[in-house]
């Protein structure tokens, strides 16, 4: 390091007569004693533009032995003690002591702990350290800012080397995945996508498949981008004019776990189906994309005789008291094929792409025009933050499973007022049906009476009393004995 590195005077890189900054970085991974690693340590002294670095990378296994203690957490102590100056004795200057003449006041300030990796992102509910690996992003706390053509994957280590076993697995089955998003600068023909994939992909031999994209190794999706297919759940594909959520299933994999083909179309739900004023860049829309909003995606499960199955997916867009719901309950038989990938845990990917209107017409046409392009001001910065995995969101609608298939009925109506409204609706229906029944019975009786009177009238007209053509006989007189018959004059 050289004799001019550290000392009291202007000739040293670090002049100890003036304050300096000290940065200690501890490199490793894991939060539990069973999976912790301590791979390196560096101490950097900084003063103005000068820097001195103490690198402990050569300590190897010595640091490894400290991994468990580091994972458990260690106490910090400060001390200022009197000790002989061994340096001066070695130089023949004699021993000196730390007394009042040399033991002046020392100051330590602004002690803080921060991530040693500028790609670390806080994801609530993961239980392990997480990092954003890829290109075109800036991480700040739990926010990730993305530039156009960003492509990211969530990993468990801060490394520039892509490791197929280093991806963080998101276990969202029976849970809710939520995040905040700002799409105000993401215009037509652009697509900010946050999605889950069943990666890393496997080749025909069952080994991790690197794929054809050097900038994103071990990538796969339902479209076979980078040459590899796998099941995919698009939680968000959106810009400021349109939002879609789409699960994609695949054909059954080979015995080695290799997927040959998948359904590119998927079972999609889109904000366009919710009305012209549901979603867009203005305040008259229910979700005003000029301001940030929340996305809550719930992955519902059902219990069958064969075990747990993926039974439904609900996406709720929330902005203050305003909400939109994309309900995939009609996809229940389709998405059941995604049960195994969700149980295994899936990799979270984020990408920001798009160029011509024709390539994005499936998402934002006809709201966006044919001449729109994802470039310049229309392809501004996007922000995703507060990514959280939590227990199932009780405000969402849970899918009702088919009891004939052995499922348990789990239909909820999130809010109490919805239950009351449903009961009132049934009551009104019953009242109206009762009134209609009574009216129909009265009408039937009236018709029966009219028809009966008509029948009697017809019978009288058709069968009149018999009339004789002969004159009527005079009435017969009965004579008593001795009485004479009287004749008329």
Highest mean pLDDT out of 80-94, 385-399, 428-442: 428-442
Which of 70-79, 213-222, 289-298, 427-436 has maximum average pLDDT? Answer: 289-298
* Domain termination site, one of 73, 108, 141: 73
Position 289 in a domain = yes
Q: Is 50 exceeded by the pLDDT of residue 403?
A: no
pLDDT of residue 140: 85
Label residue 456 by pLDDT band (50, 70, 90).
low
Residue 251: domain span: 131-415
Name the domain boundary from 55, 73, 91: 73
pLDDT for residue 322 = 97
- How far from 439 is each of 22, 47, 409, 436, 488, CA to CA, in Å? 90, 94, 37, 5, 70
Query: What pLDDT, on a 0 to 100 scale, did the predictor assign at position 393?
Result: 60
d(C-alpha 258, C-alpha 328), whole Å: 27
Reported as type and span, the H/E element at residue 25 is: strand 21-29
What is residue 49's predicted lDDT score, i.e. its pLDDT? 81
Q: What is the pLDDT of residue 271?
A: 97
Decide: 395 and 176 in contact? Cβ < 8 Å.
no
Model confidence pLDDT, tens digit, residues 168-183: 999 999 999 999 999 9
**Confidence class for position 100, pLDDT limits 50, 70, 90:** confident
pLDDT in tens, 46-57: 988 888 889 887
| 351-370 pLDDT, tens digit each | 999 999 999 999 999 999 99
Mean pLDDT score of the chain: 83
More confident residue, 189 or 331: 189
In-domain check, residue 317: yes
| Residue 274 domain-assigned (yes or no) | yes
> What confidence tier does 36 reach under pLDDT thresholds 50, 70, 90?
low
| pLDDT for the residue numbered 466 | 46
Answer whether residue 102 is part of any domain: no
Closest CA to 326 of 243, 232, 417: 243
Same domain for 238 and 355, yes or no, is: yes
Interatomic CA distance for residues 426 and 152, integer angstroms: 50
User: Does the N-terminal peptide bond of residue 200 adopt cis geometry, omega within 30 degrees of 0?
Assistant: yes
Highest mean pLDDT among 14-18, 89-93, 222-226: 222-226
Return phi, psi of residue 54, to 5°. Answer: -105, 115
d(CA 54, CA 369): 58
Q: Supply the CATH number for residue 243's domain.
A: 2.70.100.10
Whether pLDDT at 114 is above 90: no
Asked if residue 323 and residue 407 are part of one domain, the reply reads yes
Environment class of residue 25 by beta-carbon count within 10 Å: exposed (0-12), middle (13-18) or buried (19+)? middle
The answer to whether residues 69 and 184 belong to one domain is no
Statement: residue 327 has pLDDT above 80? yes
Of 365, 389, 415, the one marking the end of a domain is: 415
Name which residue leads in pLDDT, 358 or 27. 358
Q: Strand 322-327 to strand 131-140: parallel, antiparallel, or no bridges (unpaired)?
A: unpaired
- Compute the average pLDDT of residues 223-243: 97
What confidence tens digit (pLDDT) does each residue in 336-350 have? 999 999 999 999 999
Residue 150 lies in a domain: yes
pLDDT tens sequence across 240-278 = 999 999 999 999 999 999 999 999 999 999 999 999 999
Question: Do 60 and 143 belong to one domain?
Answer: no
Q: Same domain for 281 and 140?
A: yes
52, 179: one domain: no
Domain count, the chain: 2
């Amino acid at each position: 390091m050289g004799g001019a590195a550290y000392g009291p005077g202007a000739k040293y890189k670090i002049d100890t007569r003036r304050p300096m900054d000290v940065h200690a970085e501890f490199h490793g991974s894991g939060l539990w004693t069973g999976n912790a690693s301590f791979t390196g340590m560096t101490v950097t002294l900084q003063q103005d533009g000068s820097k001195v670095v103490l690198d402990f990378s050569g300590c190897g296994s010595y640091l490894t032995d400290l991994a468990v203690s580091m994972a458990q957490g260690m106490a910090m102590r400060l001390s200022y003690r009197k000790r002989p100056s061994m340096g001066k004795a070695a130089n023949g200057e004699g021993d000196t002591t730390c007394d009042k003449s040399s033991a002046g006041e020392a100051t330590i300030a602004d002690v803080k702990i921060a991530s040693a990796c500028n790609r670390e992102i806080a994801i609530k509910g993961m239980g392990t350290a997480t990092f954003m690996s890829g290109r075109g992003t800036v991480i700040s706390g739990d926010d990730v800012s993305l530039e156009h053509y960003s492509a990211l994957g969530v990993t468990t280590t801060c490394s520039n080397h892509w490791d197929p076993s280093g991806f963080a697995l998101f276990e969202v089955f029976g849970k809710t995945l939520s995040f905040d998003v700002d799409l105000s600068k993401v215009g037509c023909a652009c697509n900010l996508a946050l999605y889950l994939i069943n990666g890393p992909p496997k080749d025909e031999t069952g080994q991790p498949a690197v794929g054809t994209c050097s900038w994103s190794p071990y990538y796969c999706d339902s479209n076979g981008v980078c040459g590899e297919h796998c099941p995919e759940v698009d939680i968000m594909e959106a810009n400021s004019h349109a939002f879609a959520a789409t699960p994609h299933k695949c054909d059954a994999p080979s015995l080695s776990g290799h997927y040959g083909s998948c359904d590119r179309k998927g079972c999609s739900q889109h904000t366009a189906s919710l009305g012209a004023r549901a979603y867009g860049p203005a305040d008259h829309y229910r979700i005003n994309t000029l301001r940030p909003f929340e996305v809550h995606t719930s992955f519902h499960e059902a219990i069958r005789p064969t075990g747990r199955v993926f039974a439904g997916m609900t996406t709720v867009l929330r902005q203050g008291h305003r909400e939109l719901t994309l309900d995939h309950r009609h996809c229940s038989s389709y998405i059941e094929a995604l049960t195994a990938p969700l149980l295994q845990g899936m990799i979270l990917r984020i990408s920001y792409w798009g160029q011509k209107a024709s390539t994005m017409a499936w998402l934002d046409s006809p709201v966006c025009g044919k001449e729109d392009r994802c470039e310049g001001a229309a392809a501004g910065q996007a922000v995703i933050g507060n990514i959280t995995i939590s227990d199932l969101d009780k405000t969402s609608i849970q899918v009702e499973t088919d009891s004939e298939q052995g499922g348990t009925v789990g239909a909820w109506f999130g809010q109490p007022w919805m239950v009351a409204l449903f009961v009132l609706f049934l009551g009104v229906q019953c009242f109206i049906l009762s009134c209609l029944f009574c009216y129909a019975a009265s009408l039937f009786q009236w018709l029966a009476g009219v028809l009966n009177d008509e029948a009697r009238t017809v019978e009288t007209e058709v069968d009149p009393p018999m009339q004789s053509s002969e004159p009527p006989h005079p009435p017969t007189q009965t004579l008593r004995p001795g009485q004479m018959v009287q004749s008329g004059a």
